[in-house]
Structure 1
Amino acid sequence: MNRSLAHDQSFGYAELLSHWSYETFLAHVHPQDRDRVADSFAAALHGRGKYHVEFRVVWPDGSLHWLLSRGRSLHGPDGRAVRVAGIVCDITDAKMLELAAHETASRFASVVDSMADAVVCSTPEGVITGWNRAAEKLFGWRADEVIGLSVTLLLPPDRTHEARGLPEGMTGSQPVGEVEVVRRRRDGSLVEVSVVWSPWRDAQGDVVEMIALARDITERRRMERALQHQATHDALTGLPNRALLADRLDQALAAASRSGGPLAVLVLDLDDFKVVNDAAGHAVGDLLLVETAQRLGSALRPGDTVARFGGDEFVVICTDADADAAAAVAERLHEALGPAMEVEGQRHHVTASIGIALSPPLRGEDLMRSADVAMSDAKSTGRARSRLFESPMAERAQSQLELSLQLREAVTTGALELHYQPVVDLTTGEMTGVEALTRWNRPGRTPVPPSVFIAVAEQTGLITALDRWVIDQACRDGAAMVASGLLSDRAHVAVNVGVRDVCDALVVSMVVSSVAAAGPGFGYERLVVEVTETAMMNDSDAAQQALQELRDLGVGVALDDFGTGYSSLTHLQRLPINVLKIDASFVRQITEQAHHLAITRSLVDLATALGIRTVAEGVETREQLHLLQRLGCAAGQGWLWSRAVPLAELGEMLQALPQGRFDVS
């Protein structure tokens, strides 16, 4: 073989070797490359003519080097190839760079393929050139199915217009910020993804490829929507809450202002729902609220909004609704609540008082306030009805607010006073007890009737403080009456207690503390607690248990104003009472109305059969007295003998009576 010094140096020799043959050449070639090199030379000699081969050689010191050999075959006179001639170059440095670049690219491809985010590469025209395993998992297509296709493949049918913005977004000079978009999967389903585009540039700065990182944010967005819903909707009923209501009301008012159309707001408050809650339990109460919300929603017009304002109060926004339309909506709401609700095997009747206010005013808070005032008016005038706001209502509401503030001060400063009305034995004329009645005489001002300030106390929550004061003062006065001899051995002091304190069982602790404070002269047997039918006829287990605890202490329990709920007669035998008070409305009519007389006779007969003492209220005439005596009624009270008087006046009156007895002849 003819060769140069450079040739032998390529094989690691500093000087030209004395002997070099084709076999010597092949012996220096790396064993793994030897056949490939021999095949290249053979191909050149047997017809191909030219050859080009890269191979490794082992230097004498054992190191590996890369060589490039290229050349062509030489032919004899007969045209046959007889030898090859070419050059050999050491390309070790270039080859090392190439191998390093290949290894880096391979490593990069492995990293991209193992990324959790989907990686989609594309040309500036939007042709897909790269697609990692995460992209296959996210979108459902394999890489070999999408390479060469347009990225518009991922656009949902209703978002194909986004394709117009892709080239501009992909060739921008800066990376595109993170965007959240909806994309299509292979199965046609949609997925919410967060995408970041970044350009890949060549040495001249031209964009040659775009790389997009896509991350599935479906679950994150679902949680965000859930949190947003929780922030704007009531957890129990699913209705819009107070915050969302305010926003929708502002929007509705703005729309009404632009269009000049009417707008109505209805405030709806369930009647006596606390009693139902206490009687059946909060779990049942919650189920009733859910059913109520569903019924209200079904009664609305399209476009109207019902929201839970809090507790048992709901608000309805009626767009494009004048007074007549709003009244019609209110009527449908009443009708929707009409049928009984059956929860856990029990039937419950839910009614509501509804207040209606119309815009203007154009401020939501003013509209809400007016509707609330109208609702309070509906509740105070009978409940289960609707009222349209009128200016006098606001004046009454302001007056009631002032009255409630004055009442709160009167309760805390002791400005109230107890008067006592005698309870008379209809056979002997003996005073068997007194009923304590609260009076509010404001110095220099008109006295406030009990029917007014007690209603205010119940509406404002002052009733508990009022009841506590009444029981405490009555026990103290009772102890004084016992000490002075005004009360006989079997005489009692009766106090009236509100529904709330009976249902909440607060009455027991009030009685215990007040009797203890009154001293040893006034025991439990001297006290009678009067409760109305409302407190007892709602099947309130808590109320009945509280009253039974009072009976166990020795306290008497009287059912007051009985007769107005005649259907409750069948329940009388299971109530923990020992006194039945016949309502004055029946007593006034017994001498004129046959059916009132029949009802009164039935009440007396039933109570007597059950061992319950009867007391007739509102006795005003001798004729009424004589008829009650014939019916067998045990006792009575009324103006025939005395109105309710201060304690000092009661003592003077009793001292003036012959033998200390009232006339029952």
Structure 2
Amino acid sequence: MAEKSLILIVDDEIISRSTIEILLASEGYELIFAENGAEALVKAIELIPDLMLLDIMMPGMNGFEVCQQLRANPRTSELPVVMITALDDRESRLRGLEVGADDFMSKPFDRAELRARIRTITRLNRYRRLVETEEQLVYLANYDTLTGLPNRNLLMERLQQSLGRARRSHRGVAVLVVDVDSFRIINDSFGHDCADNLLCKIAHRLTQTVSEIEATVARISGDEFVILVDTDNLVKEVSGVAQRLLNSISQPLMLNKHEIIVTASVGISVYPSDGEEAAALLKNANTAVSRAKAAGKNTYQFFTTEMNQAALKRLILENQLRRVLEREELCLFYQPQIALSTGQLVGMEALLRWQHPESGLLSPSQFVAVAEEMNLIIPIGEWVLRTACYQTQAWQAAGLLPIRISINVSSRQFKPVYWLQTIKNVLQESQLAPNYLELELTESVLMEEHNDNNNSIVAVLTELRTMGVQIAIDDFGTGYSSLSYLKRLPVNTLKIDRSFIQDINSNRDDAAIITAIIALAHSLHLSVVAEGVENKEQLIFLQSRQCEIVQGYLLSKPLSQEEMTKLLQRIDQQPLCLLPV
């Protein structure tokens, strides 16, 4: 049997109350009455009726004031209110609407109208309550009532969705289980209320930490949280996320007027290497949490040993990179650049190396990407510029052949105004003439035009070229620069990427691309440097296309400072043709 609708009738006149009771007697409603506004408020808050019939004109608190207070109270703010009035004036109705009335009825009552309006309003109100109840049930089924985070049910649903996307796009998914260290001690020491407060603060910190990436934060048990991350770079990105989570949690916080520091352990499993199903990934992440706690807590562990080793290797590399300049472990090698028309040395490219104390000499591919992510490439890049300029000037001061030094500039490193001033300072301090310095920038750097014309890349490069500094586009042909943009750039040289040179004799497309690049450069009065020349067939092809300058292992490997000094000394004693016979 359906529950009866409860109607609260508020009227100071007993005749009016009795009239309504008689008119509604056959409708099956449960009727309650209030003789004044104060009594109406008490009963409305206590009983939350389905409808209130509210007389406007009452002594003391009138109907407008009653309605206004109902709307101000969260418990009764949605209560349907029909105002009853003997006043049929527009002003009273407008005022009623302003204070929140839903409808109006006039005395004396029309039986049919009264029944129809009440039937409609109560039916709508009961439907609204049903919808709200269903929404609340759905919320309780999917969200944690303490923190408001998704619960296990919603987490598993979202994890299934992430895995579906990952299977289609061949991406990775990481599951990070975060378990608060020594939570039971906190619970026993401070009590359940404080412990709940702590969990809410941790939930907020976790959510804030991953707010800039697409991640789900969920609470699946007392002190256990889970973060889902979709990513392509599992070791790098997920390691960073895990460490940021640990750092965030371990910040001091106030609990029961005491400042405490809480730590957590993080276990990580990844799709597909640690499992292809949601349950398996969650299970393996929990196993990794146990390993993290056994390792001393306040740390993270991958489920897979190989990923742990990779993460540890990266962490060690980052820590060592932070001190690489302080320990003077960087060095430069120099690869000669040879003019094809004469075979003479005309330039050299400065190549960065890291003399690692344990791993030996490392190439840029083994550490530059990490340095860029850590923003260490800016001081490292300045060190390269300064060292190369000072060394080139030192060779010239010793009376050796004056040749141009080429330096690669990273996109993370090239900040137009900063870099312009840095180059000016270094050239002045080293006393190297600007025409002996060449900057190699990739197409992606050159295409990043700024809105401020005074600080634009083109403006800065124009000033550098006016000073005499040479500008080269490195790895030309691998980017997206347009011909119209290339015409505007104040460049001197195009460097053909080694990927085109590699198969020049067997791949017609590569041969056609190189031919086109050289022709394009010459039409714009630019010189061409081909890097990565490793055999005579490549050299002969480039000569036939009038390429000006070449570099590569066929001509010379990158040379240390000492080896480059000896080469320059040999050339000083007797000019050498460095092309192979």
Structure 1 length normalisation: TM-score?
Answer: 0.48
1:528 matched residue in structure 2:
438
For the structure 1 residues 354 and 395, does the alpha-carbon distance in structure 2 shift closer, same or farther, using more than 3 Å as the test?
closer
RMSD: 4.7
Structure 1 residues 152 and 485: alpha-carbon distance in aligned structure 2, compared to 1, 3 A threshold? same
Between stretches 307-316 and 409-418, larger displacement belongs to: 307-316
Corresponding position of 2:414: 502
Of the three residues 229, 252, 270, the one matched with 2:150 is: 252
Q: By how many angstroms is 1:553 displaced?
A: 2.4
Closer, same or farther: CA 318–552 of 1 in aligned 2, 3 Å: farther
Residues 1:512 and 2:453 are matched in the alignment: no
Does residue 407 (structure 1) correspond to residue 326 (structure 2)? The answer is no
Query: Any idea what SS the aligned residue of 2:324 has?
Result: helix
Shift of 1:477: 0.5
For residue 216 of structure 2, the aligned residue among 310, 313, 316 is 316
Check 1:646–1:370 CA distance in 2 against 1; reply closer, same or farther (3 A cut).
Answer: same
- CA change 1:423–1:485 in 2 (3 A) is farther
Tell me the CA shift for residue 473 of structure 1: 0.6
1:466 corresponds to:
380
Decide whether aligned partners of structure 1 residues 523 and 127 sit closer, same or farther in structure 2, where only a CA change above 3 A counts: same
Query: What CA distance in whole angstroms lies between the structure 1 residues aligned with 2:415 and 2:35?
Result: 75
Query: Highest relative contact order (Cα 8 Å, sep 6+), 1 or 2?
Result: 2
Q: 2:395 aligns with which of 475, 481, 499?
A: 481
Report the equivalent of 1:182. 76
Sequence identity, in percent? 29
**Map of 1:549-564 to 2, 5 A cutoff?**
549-564=463-478
What does the per-residue CA deviation read over 1:193-217, in whole Å, with 9 as the maximum and x for residues that have no partner? Answer: xxxxxxxxxxxxxxxxxxxxxxxxx
SS of equivalent residue, structure 1 residue 409 = coil
Distance 2:159 2:511 in 1: 53
Q: Distance in 2 between matches of 1:502 and 1:246?
A: 47
The 3-state SS of whatever aligns with 2:438 is strand
2:104 maps to: none
State whether residues 433 and 487 of structure 1, in contact with CA within 8 Å, keep that contact through their aligned partners in structure 2. Answer: no
- Residue 537 to residue 249, structure 1, CA distance change in 2 (3 Å): farther
Letter in 2 for 1:624: Q
Contact 2:149 2:217 in 1 (8 A): no
Query: Shift of the alpha carbon at 1:147?
Result: 6.7
Q: Which deviates more from structure 2 when the two are superposed, residues 540-549 or residues 478-487?
A: 540-549
DSSP-derived class of the 1:619 partner: coil
Hey, what's the Cα distance between the residues in 1 that align with 2:268 and 2:424? 43
CA contact (8 A) 2:340 2:547 kept: yes
Deviation of 1:318 after TM superposition, in Å, equals 8.2
Asked whether the 8 Å contact 1:182–1:191 carries over to 2, the reply is: no
Partners of 2:410 and 2:267 lie apart in 1 by 28
Cα deviation digits, residues 315-360 of structure 1 (max 9, x gap):
235899xxxxx9x996xxxxxxxxxxxxxxxxxxxxx857698xxx
Evaluate the alpha carbon distance shift between residue 539 and residue 622 of structure 1 in structure 2; reply closer, same or farther with a 3 A threshold.
Answer: same
Preserved CA contact (<8 Å) 1:580 1:612: yes
Match of 1:631 in 2: 545
TM superposition shift of 1:559: 0.7
Structure 2: how far apart are the matches of 1:618 and 1:478?
23
Deviation, 1:441, is 1.6
SS at the partner of 1:663?
coil
**Structure 2 counterpart SS, 1:467:** helix
Tell me how far apart the structure 1 counterparts of residues 386 and 211 of structure 2 sit (CA, whole Å): 32
Paired letter, 1:313: I
2:459 matches 1:545 = yes
Structure 1 residue 417: deviation in Å?
A: 0.5
Within 5 Å, give how 1:20-419 maps onto structure 2: 148=36, 151=40, 155=44, 159-160=48-49, 181-183=75-77, 186=83, 251-252=149-150, 263=159, 313-317=213-217, 353=232, 370=268, 391=304, 392-419=306-333
Q: 2:363 aligns with which of 439, 446, 449?
A: 449
> Counterparts of 1:511 and 1:400 in 2: how far apart (Å)?
32
Is contact 2:215-2:229 (8 Å) kept?
no
Map Cα deviations across residues 616-636 of structure 1 (whole Å, 9 max, x no partner): 001111221111111011101
Contact 1:426/1:664, CA 8 A, preserved across alignment: no
Change (3 A) 1:147 1:316: same
Q: CA shift at 1:569, angstroms? A: 4.8
How far apart are the structure 1 equivalents of 2:154 and 2:9? 48
Q: Give the match's secondary structure for 1:440.
A: strand
Are residues 191 and 506 of structure 1, via their aligned partners in 2, closer, same or farther at CA, if it must alter by over 3 Å?
farther
Task: Using the TM superposition, name which of 649-658 and 146-155 deviates more.
Answer: 146-155
CA distance in 2 between partners of 1:151 and 1:414 (Å): 83
SS at match of 1:495: strand
Letter in 1 for 2:459: Q
Contact 1:578 1:613 in 2 (8 A): yes
Letter of the 1:516 partner, please give it: Q
CA distance in 2, matches of 1:620, 1:419: 18
Change (3 A) 1:524 1:151: same
> In the alignment, what sits opposite 1:426?
340
Displacement after TM superposition at 1:526 (Å): 1.2
| TM score, norm. by length of structure 2 | 0.54
Mapped contact 2:149–2:219 kept (Cα < 8 A) = no
Give the Cα–Cα distance (whole angstroms) in 1 for the partners of residues 477 and 511 of structure 2.
11
1:440 match: 354
The code of the aligned residue for 2:76 comes to V
Alpha-carbon distance, 1:511 to partner: 0.9
Aligned equivalent of 1:382: none
**CA displacement at 1:455 relative to structure 2:** 0.8
Distance 1:605 1:158 in 2: 89
Instruction: Give 5+ residue unaligned stretches, structure 2.
Output: 1-7, 14-33, 53-71, 84-92, 101-142, 166-205, 221-225, 247-263, 272-284, 286-301
CA deviations over 1:451-493 (Å, ceiling 9, x no partner): 01111111111110110110111111011111123333xx211
Decide which structure has the larger Cα Rg and report it: 1
- Alpha-carbon deviation of 1:564? 1.6
For 1:532, the aligned partner's letter is T
SS state at 2:425 partner: helix
- 3-state secondary structure, aligned to 1:438: strand
> Does the CA-based 8 Å contact 1:308-1:314 persist in structure 2?
no
Q: Which residue of 2 aligns with 1:660?
A: 576
**Alignment partner, residue 223 of structure 2:** none
Contact preservation (8 Å) 2:334, 2:559: yes
Looking at structure 2, the residues matched to 585 and 617 of structure 1 have their Cα atoms a distance apart, in angstroms, of 9
Question: CA 1:634–1:128 in 2, change beyond 3 Å: closer, same or farther?
Answer: same
**Structure 1 residue 498 displacement after superposition:** 0.9
Amino acid at match of 2:398: S
